[in-house]
């Protein structure tokens, strides 16, 4: 999808948990069936290029990347917005709007079924509000590192968020923690 395209973006709506509105978790309204079996379901890290310059520096272990976690045919990612509600969203795997897909990395497996994964994401999304997104300190790759570790026990490859790790000592001097 071209970065200028608006297709699919109007599908964002708040998720409803029971009787309460969960405005903290914005998600596409497409819910996968719970009929898929639990067990050893693969979990993938989908990595996207933020800039065409990645084609020239990727070979050296550098680049600026966006990432999302794919499980049960759904990709979850974290993005910025101006509101104190969740920045976690759901897209079709390897189709995140505005980014160019680079590669999918097998992270391990989870025993959670589709509905358990959704509940897991709802629970953890409260820690990732869109207005707390920070390119260096708390970005989509930090979200994926946290989620992948909790689902599989494995951490994402270091190169995915290398730029943030290099810049972090400088950023904390200018970005005090709450």
Alpha helices of 74-113 — where are they, by DSSP H?
none
Q: What is the DSSP string of 21-63?
A: EEEEEEE-S----TTS--SSEEEEEEEEESSTTHHHHGGGT--
The rounded mean pLDDT for the chain is 79
Residue 164: what pLDDT?
66
In tens, the pLDDT along 118-170 reads 999 999 999 999 999 998 899 999 999 999 999 999 999 999 998 765 554 44
Q: What band does 4 get if pLDDT is binned at 50, 70 and 90? A: very low
Among 96, 85, 81, 72, residue whose Cα is nearest residue 15: 85
Q: Does the active-site annotation cover 66? A: yes
Point out the catalytic residue in the list 66, 72, 124, 142. 66
Interatomic CA distance for residues 81 and 99, integer angstroms: 17
| Residue range 39-60: mean pLDDT, rounded | 91
Residue 39: what pLDDT?
64
Half-sphere exposure of 168 toward its Cβ, with a 13 Å CA cutoff?
Answer: 11
Point out the catalytic residue in the list 26, 96, 140, 148. 140
Interatomic CA distance for residues 150 and 154, integer angstroms: 8
- Of residues 18 and 132, more confidently modeled: 132
Q: Domains in the chain, please, with CATH?
A: 22-28+37-174 (3.90.1720.30)
CA–centroid distance for 29 within its chain: 17
The model carries a pTM of: 0.74
């Amino acid at each position: 999808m071209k970065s200028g395209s608006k297709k699919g973006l109007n599908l964002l709506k708040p998720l409803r948990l029971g009787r309460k509105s969960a405005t903290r978790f914005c998600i596409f309204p497409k819910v996968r069936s719970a009929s898929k079996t639990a067990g050893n379901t693969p979990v993938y890290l989908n990595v996207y290029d933020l800039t065409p310059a990645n084609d020239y520096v990727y070979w050296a272990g550098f680049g600026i990347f966006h990432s999302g976690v794919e499980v049960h045919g759904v990709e979850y990612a974290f993005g910025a917005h101006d509101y104190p509600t969740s920045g976690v969203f759901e897209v079709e795997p390897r189709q995140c709007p505005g980014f160019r897909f680079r590669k999918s990395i097998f992270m391990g497996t989870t025993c959670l079924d589709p509905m358990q994964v959704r509940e897991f994401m709802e629970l953890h999304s409260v820690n990732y509000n869109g207005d707390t997104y920070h390119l260096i300190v708390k970005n989509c790759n930090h979200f994926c590192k946290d989620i992948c570790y909790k689902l599989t026990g494995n951490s994402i490859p270091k190169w995915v968020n290398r730029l943030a790790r290099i810049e972090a000592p400088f950023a904390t001097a200018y970005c005090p923690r709450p």
